[in-house]
Structure 1
Amino acid sequence: MDWDDLRIFLAVAREESLSRAGRRLGMDASTMGRRVARLETALGRVLFAKTPQGYALTPEGTALIPHAEAAETAAHAAGEALTGAGLTGQLRIGAPDGCANYLLPQLAARMMRDHPGLEIQIVALPRVFNLSRREADMAIAVSRPRTGRATVQKIVDYQLHLAAHEDYLRRHPPIRSRADLRGHSMIGYIPDMIFDRELDYLRETGADHAALTSNSVSVQLQAIRAGAGLGIVHDFAIPFAPGVQRVLAGDISLRRSFWLLRPGDDMRSGRLARLAEEIAQGLRRELGRLEAQVQMQEKRTLDETICRGNAGL
């Protein structure tokens, strides 16, 4: 049995589509179809049933999955043994868009410098990733999954605060307490598109309505930067939005966690274990660096305010 045929079989099984599987492997759909048919002929079994929704596994196809995945693990292990200490090949990381936009690019750049043969794909989607279908090799989540076979590792806690652009704050009365928030425009998630309860930020501020909403934290941050109102912002994203500053930081402070999820059957892969550890360590370093920038900027602003006050005495 040809391993390459099994690789194609696994891609179709996970994507449930010849075209999607082909895009992932860099092949056209017709080639994928021919290779699946060749494997079925060689085995004397029908592995897929074509349905209106795509390619569904038959009982025979389902029975082949664990054997194909074992071959996949063995092939990766052989590659690791031959390539030595360096990490090579493709790595697909799924992440919520805040992490994907403001943390993973710097981490990916560092990992690719350290491992020139490594190719990294960052998939930023506002939803939970399905690792059993190999939508990603590993995923970063904002809450610990309660079900499934994924291997779960807590990476790090992070901070979020209410924030606004300095121009918005100049145009409105001072905000010294939660009571002063009444009448302000709030920015947040589209309520029925909150895919994880940990993202229901505005509820913790006491606000019951947002005038401008998006399913993307990056869009929310840009709206805040444009002066559209106040919203909850990741501290690690603030350095990417000049002029945005925390509001009522001592009163409204949220803590959340990032979790690293890996398929439960990849624990035998030394390569993925090493990649997972590099990702976890790299995220901790980068998040700490960015959050420290916010603290330093606030200290500089406070010192400048005190100096101006003393100069006016």
Structure 2
Amino acid sequence: MKTLPEWTDLRYFLELARAGTLSGASRRLEVEHTTVARRIDRLEAQLGSTLFDRSREGYELTEMGLALMPHAEVMESAALAAQDQLSGNQIEVRGVVRLGVPEALGVRVITPLLSRFLQGHPDLSIDLLVQPRFANLANREADLGVMLDAPSTGRYMVTRLVSFRLYLYASPAYLARHRPILRQADLAEHDFVDYVQDRLASNELNFLDELGFVPRRRLCCTGMMAQAEAAAAGLGLMMAPPYVIPEDGRLVPVLQHEVFAERSYWLVAPVDLYRLPRVRTVWNLLREYADAQPGLFVNGGPAPVALPLPRTRKG
């Protein structure tokens, strides 16, 4: 190699590695996908190495590409630091941020929030990954994600986004047809709606098994939105955070001061992506909104005593 790679070519390399497709990288860089392909071809020719394996599914880093990643990230960090200093931290927020969120949280809370937020950021776009599993940040599926399990290895920025409670709910029609629920012991005689047990995205979703008996599951779904519809249709009780429950009265709380589980959502981003102004802007938005809306995550009323439900993480 007679000359060093240009920083702009390495920037194209980083965005393609993160997006996994030419179209995804071109959106982030605001150029044509052919420009991305041409820059990558030039970089590979200059380095004398193949950096990506091409397939119909997209671009995947080769061993040489993986080796180049940390060096390109160091250059990116230096460029961002210089931009911060020279601009007095007044950096324009623009580009695409890919955000991975749990399904119900994404639909009920984050989508309405983003619709208002983006009106004030005309040059910013969001790819919202709403799915019944958590985004894989290790393979750069998302720039940042909300998840139940904070990573214990890898170079990530991690913060507790919010602690929340899952309460029991049922439809008025279901409660009218079945035996009264006056205490926790009565629950063993009732039907439940739950997650498909061999498709759990996290062990933190195993809250029904912690109630002290084997629940009678009448319907299991991979997502909580479907569970809420099933419970509203009268198929059984479900456990859910307050933000999942519609305000139309189709679901009402059951023993909410006696039976509930506590969990935490964690906000996570790879360290190198967290340094990007557009990613930090979305990060700060989520933190500030969660802090300002406690009623979405914990029902009001007298302070109840939680059941001794075991958790995988303290605090």
Q: Shorter-chain TM-score: which interval?
A: 0.7 to 0.9
Question: Contact (CA 8 Å) 1:144, 1:259: kept in 2 or not?
Answer: yes
Offset, 1:250: 2.2
How far 1:14 moved relative to its partner? 3.9
Matched, 1:176 2:178: no
Shift of 1:222: 1.1
Q: Is residue 205 of structure 2 the alignment partner of residue 199 of structure 1?
A: yes
Query: Structure 2 matches for 1:104-183, cutoff 5 A?
Result: 104-183=110-189
For residue 308 of structure 2, what is the aligned residue in structure 1? none
Aligned length: 294
Correspondence list, 1:91-106, <5 A: 91-106=97-112
Task: Report how far residue 33 of structure 1 moved.
Answer: 4.4
Structure 1 CA distance for aligned equivalents of residues 8 and 91 of structure 2: 25
* 17-26 or 167-176: bigger deviation: 17-26
Give the C-alpha shift of residue 16 in structure 1.
Answer: 5.2
Tell me the equivalent position of 2:69: 65
Q: Does 1:247 align with 2:251?
A: no
Rounded to whole Å, the distance in 2 between the matches of 1:8 and 1:174 is 62
Consecutive unaligned residues in structure 1, runs of 5 or more: 297-313
Please state how far the C-alpha of 1:43 moved relative to its aligned partner.
Answer: 2.8
CA distance change for structure 1 residues 84 and 23 in 2, over 3 Å: closer, same or farther? closer
Distance 1:186 1:123, change over 3 A: same
Partner of 1:38: 42
SS state at 2:245 partner? helix
Structure 1 distance, partners of 2:132, 2:118, is 25
Select the residue among 236, 241, 249 that pairs with 1:234. 241
Higher mean Cα deviation, 192-201 or 165-174? 165-174
* 8 A Cα contact 2:80 2:275, kept in partner: no
Deviation, 1:261, is 0.4
Task: Compare 99-108 and 115-124 and name the one that shifted more.
Answer: 115-124
Alignment of 1:277-296 (within 5 A): 277-286=284-293, 288-290=294-296, 295=300
Q: Give the counterpart letter for 1:47 in structure 2.
A: L
User: SS where residue 210 of structure 1 aligns?
Assistant: strand
State the identity as a percent.
35
Give the letter for the 2:42 counterpart. R
Amino acid at match of 1:249: Q
Q: CA RMSD in A?
A: 3.2
1:14-25 aligned within 5 A: 14=18
Cα deviation, residue 97, structure 1: 1.1
Q: Is contact 1:131-1:150 (8 Å) kept?
A: no
184-193 or 231-240, which deviates more: 231-240
Kindly provide the amino acid, as one letter, of the partner of residue 90 in structure 1.
Answer: V
CA distance in 2, matches of 1:177, 1:95: 34
Counterparts of 2:272 and 2:262 in 1: how far apart (Å)?
Answer: 31
Alignment check: 8 A CA contact 1:160 1:253 kept: yes
After superposing on structure 2, the runs of 4+ consecutive aligned residues of structure 1 that deviate more than 6 Å are 22-31, 51-54
TM-score by length of 1: 0.79
State the partner residue of 2:307. none
Partner letter of residue 177 of structure 2? R
Question: 1:155·1:259 contact (CA, 8 Å) conserved in 2?
Answer: yes
Give per-residue Cα distances to partners, 1:145-197, cap 9 Å, x unaligned: 22222111012111111110112112222111233223422100000111211
The residue identity in structure 1 corresponding to 2:244 is A
- What corresponds to 1:213 in structure 2? 220
C-alpha distance in 2 between matches for 1:65 and 1:193 = 33
Identify unmatched segments of 5+ residues in structure 2: 302-315
Aligned partners of 1:156 and 1:78: how far apart in 2? Answer: 33
SS state of the match for residue 211, structure 1? strand
- Give 1:233's aligned amino acid: A
Superposition deviation, residue 203 in structure 1: 0.8
Cα distance between partner residues in 2 of 1:184 and 1:60: 57
Q: 1:83 to 1:226 in 2, by over 3 A?
A: farther
Alpha-carbon distance between aligned partners in 1 of 2:144 and 2:46, rounded to the nearest angstrom: 33
**Structure 1: distance between partners of 2:70 and 2:152:** 24
Pair 1:213–1:27, CA change in 2 (3 A): farther
In the alignment, residue 142 of structure 1 is paired with which amino acid?
L
